[in-house]
């Protein structure tokens, strides 16, 4: 069976896991902590980033964009109305734009610093960069949450799904990021009722069940994290 090297609090890892499940794929999950820089993992991906997919022939595919495009080209084109990229070139471009927004911009502005300061530092040794969270970084990231949620609120309110009329990679990328922030209790859902309704639809999909069941050592999720109607 193929293997996916991932981290539970990695947006990119969650994104790819959602794609695999939506397309009916099974893969053995191997949790990898990038800060450990294991020699065996770096042999698969010299960049040391997640996720990494190892197929049955021991060939590795690295990174969420590479994996998303590969899965679309090999399997998405056969899914018709369940394809996670649109057939229309302009729609595909919009899906890719929003996917990049959530996996890069929101990741840089919000998700990555919050995860590092609140989750990863609990698991890292002092030599690896562990220790108490940086309050300045937390304040900046939390301020950025509001702006990104305003944009998500606008997208969810102006379209059936974030990039158009059907579920796409954009929704899975956003759902991956939002689910992590929701785990950490960093979203005030009272300020984003339309985004909340969108997220309830996304997290109710069967592909989300494994994510909602996972727990991070030494860090409990928000009380409503696994609730579909919250």
Give the strands of the sheet with 3-6, arranged side by side.
Answer: 28-31, 3-6, 52-54, 60-62
Domain ranges (residues) in the chain: 3-82, 89-213
User: What is the CATH architecture of 3-82?
Assistant: 3-Layer(aba) Sandwich (3.40)
What's phi and psi for 46, nearest 5 deg? Answer: -60, -25
Angle between helices 169-183 and 193-203 (to 10 degrees): 100
Q: What is the pLDDT of residues 107-132, one digit of tens each?
A: 999 999 999 999 999 999 999 999 99
| 9 neighbors 115 (Cβ within 8 angstroms) | yes
pLDDT-derived band at 80 (thresholds 50, 70, 90) equals: confident
Q: How far is the C-alpha of 45 from the C-alpha of 52, rounded, in Å?
A: 7
Q: How far is the C-alpha of 206 from the C-alpha of 185, rounded, in Å?
A: 22
Q: Please, what CATH class does the domain formed by 89-213 belong to?
A: mainly alpha
Q: How far is the C-alpha of 32 from the C-alpha of 13, rounded, in Å?
A: 10
Same CATH fold, 89-213 and 3-82?
A: no
Report pTM.
0.97
Q: What is the pLDDT of residues 126-161, one digit of tens each?
A: 999 999 999 999 999 999 999 999 999 999 999 999
């Amino acid at each position: 069976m193929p293997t996916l090297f991932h981290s539970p609090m990695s947006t990119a890892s969650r994104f790819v896991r959602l794609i695999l499940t939506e397309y009916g794929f099974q893969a053995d999950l191997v949790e990898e902590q990038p800060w450990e820089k294991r020699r065996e993992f770096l042999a698969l991906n010299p960049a040391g980033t997640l996720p990494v997919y190892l197929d049955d022939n021991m060939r590795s595919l690295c990174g969420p964009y590479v994996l998303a495009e590969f899965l679309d080209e090999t399997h998405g084109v056969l899914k018709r109305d369940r394809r996670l990229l649109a057939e229309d070139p302009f729609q595909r471009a919009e899906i890719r734009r929003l996917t990049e927004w959530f996996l890069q911009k929101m990741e840089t502005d919000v998700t990555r610093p919050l995860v590092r300061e609140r989750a990863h530092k609990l698991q890292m040794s002092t030599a690896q960069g562990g220790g108490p969270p940086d309050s300045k970084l937390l304040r900046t990231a939390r301020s950025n949450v509001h702006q990104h949620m305003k944009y998500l609120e606008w997208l969810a309110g102006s379209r059936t799904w974030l990039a158009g009329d059907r579920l796409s990679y954009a929704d899975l990328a956003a759902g991956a990021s939002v689910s992590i922030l929701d785990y950490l209790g960093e979203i005030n859902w009272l300020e984003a009722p339309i985004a909340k309704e969108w997220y309830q639809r996304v997290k109710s999909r069967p592909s989300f069940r494994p994510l909602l069941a996972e727990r991070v050592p030494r860090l409990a999720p928000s009380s409503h994290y696994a609730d579909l109607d919250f």
